[in-house]
């Protein structure tokens, strides 16, 4: 690594997260790790840790991502969550990739292809999100009929995706009801994998009785979604309001709090490459974005918006002290420091002293957006015990 800006990924933490979730929500047979977009920015190598932690299926967005995962997971089955163009069916079959069937037309066209080997497929139902999937029960029944006629097609799974967590609205309940209606004319029990929940619907609801699998994304990467009910007048009033709303709309009971002990595994570091003394009235950065208020020092750090970092991140830590980011550019940020800071000092953008939670709140975003903001220009250094492996993308 020449430029000392890198993400440090602690695989052991991810393994522990997987174990913790599977241990506490142990009523499923299939734990599908959703590792799209480079495993939520962590680097596909982490699938090995997730598998060690008990994840026994993986899911990604595209065939490209599935082939990246295959390099790290030779045996574990991989589901592509979006429809793959049938032009590329050979690449899917040759790499033992499971496909999503999201429409009746898709399965009709797939049925016309002479397949060399068996192909595992999952049927995606649209229960209300209006993104992907079959939306009416006759089409579900017809799709299953076509699949059953074809001895190369293995209907391994059926699934849907929840648009909301349902803790504050009735859409979760509606979607669950829609799933039951869409599947009432097929024999659900003959399909091994039935998976509906994602991380936050899993932890906020009773187990769906007929579900045999769950798709886990953000919880594996350290976010349990647990929310304290709080005490004091404000919190009490908020809870009364919420309970009245739930009652009025007959929303099934949900849990705000859970006991999952999860940790984030992603830290971002850089170093100081230049320091200059500045006087009151001088400007710093493009568009004179900062005007120096009193004599001080500016440290330049080689991480910028091309890496996903802007001055809105707020602060960095150097020598255990927090300093304010005052300007940004494509490749560098400038930080207001004092005379204790030296060239080559290590800089933490987030990790141990500045938590991901703190940064995501400051940016008014969620963890998924924050992780995927950090671009592939930043090498991921995978740490397991004492071993460190740098991966460039």
Ligand X SMILES: Cc1ncc(COP(=O)(O)O)c(C=O)c1O
Shortest distance, position 126 Cβ to ligand X, whole Å: 11
Q: With contact defined as beta carbons under 8 Å apart, do 36 and 218 qualify?
A: no
Nearer to ligand X, 9 or 34 (CB): 34
- Give 374's DSSP letter: S
Residue in the shown chain whose Cβ atom is closest to ligand X: 217
Question: Which residues contribute to the site for ligand X (CB under 6 A)?
Answer: 34, 81, 161, 198-200, 215-219
Nearer to ligand X, 259 or 287 (CB): 259
Minimum CB separation of residue 198 from ligand X in Å reads 4
39 vs 334, which CB is nearer to ligand X? Answer: 39
- State the minimum distance, in angstroms, from the CB of residue 218 to ligand X: 4
**Nearest distance in Å: CB 216, ligand X:** 5
Which CB sits closer to ligand X, 13 or 216?
A: 216
* CA distance linking residue 198 with residue 203, whole number of Å: 9
The token duo for 369 is: 């957006």
Tokens of 209: 């009785």
Question: Residue 221 phi/psi, 5° resolution?
Answer: -95, 15
| Distance from C-alpha of 101 to C-alpha of 119, rounded to nearest angstrom | 12
Q: Which two tokens stand for residue 75?
A: 């045996």
Cβ proximity to ligand X: between 23 and 230 the closer is 23
- The span from the first CA to the last CA of the chain, in angstroms, equals 13
Quick one: 132 or 292, whose CB is closer to ligand X?
Answer: 132
- The strand pairing partners of 119, in sequence order, are 153
Task: Give the span between the Cα atoms of 134 and 121, in whole angstroms.
Answer: 14
The minimum distance between CB 201 and ligand X, in angstroms, equals: 8
Q: Cα–Cα distance between 371 and 5 in angstroms, integer?
A: 16
Structure tokens at 206: 């009773």
Nearest distance in Å: CB 310, ligand X: 24
């Amino acid at each position: 690594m020449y430029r000392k800006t890198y993400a440090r990924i602690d695989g052991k933490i991810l393994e522990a997260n997987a174990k913790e979730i599977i241990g506490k929500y142990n009523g499923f047979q299939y734990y599908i790790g959703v590792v799209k977009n480079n495993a939520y920015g962590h680097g596909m190598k982490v699938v090995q840790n997730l598998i060690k932690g008990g994840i026994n299926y993986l899911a990604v967005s595209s065939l490209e991502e599935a082939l990246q995962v295959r390099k790290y997971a030779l045996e574990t089955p991989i589901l592509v969550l979006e429809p793959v163009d049938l032009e590329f069916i050979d690449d899917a079959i040759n790499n033992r990739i499971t496909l999503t069937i999201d429409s009746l037309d898709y399965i009709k066209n797939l049925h016309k292809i002479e397949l060399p080997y068996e192909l595992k497929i999952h049927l995606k139902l649209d229960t209300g999100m209006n993104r992907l999937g079959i939306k009416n029960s006759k089409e579900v029944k017809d799709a299953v009929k076509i699949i059953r006629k074809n001895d190369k097609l293995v209907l391994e799974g059926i699934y849907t995706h929840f648009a909301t967590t349902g803790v504050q609205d009735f859409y979760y309940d509606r979607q669950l009801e829609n799933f039951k209606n869409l599947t009432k004319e097929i024999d659900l029990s003959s399909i091994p994998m039935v998976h509906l929940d994602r991380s936050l619907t899993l932890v906020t609801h009773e187990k769906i009785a007929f579900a045999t699998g769950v798709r886990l994304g953000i919880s594996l990467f350290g976010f349990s979604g647990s929310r304290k009910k709080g005490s004091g007048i404000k919190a009490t009033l908020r809870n009364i309001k919420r309970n009245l709303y739930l009652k009025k709309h007959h929303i099934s009971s949900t849990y705000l709090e859970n006991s999952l002990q999860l940790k984030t595994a992603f830290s971002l570091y850089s170093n100081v490459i230049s320091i200059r003394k500045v006087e009151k009235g001088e400007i710093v950065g493009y568009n004179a974005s900062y005007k120096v208020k009193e004599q001080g020092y500016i440290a330049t750090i080689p991480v910028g918006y091309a890496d996903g970092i802007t001055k809105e991140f707020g602060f960095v830590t150097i020598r255990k002290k927090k300093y304010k980011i005052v300007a940004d550019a494509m490749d560098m940020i400038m930080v207001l420091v004092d005379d204790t800071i030296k060239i080559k000092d290590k800089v933490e953008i987030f990790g141990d002293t500045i938590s991901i939670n703190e940064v995501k709140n400051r940016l008014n975003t969620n963890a998924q957006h924050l992780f995927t903001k950090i671009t592939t220009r930043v090498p991921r250094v995978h740490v397991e015990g004492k071993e460190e492996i740098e991966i460039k993308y």
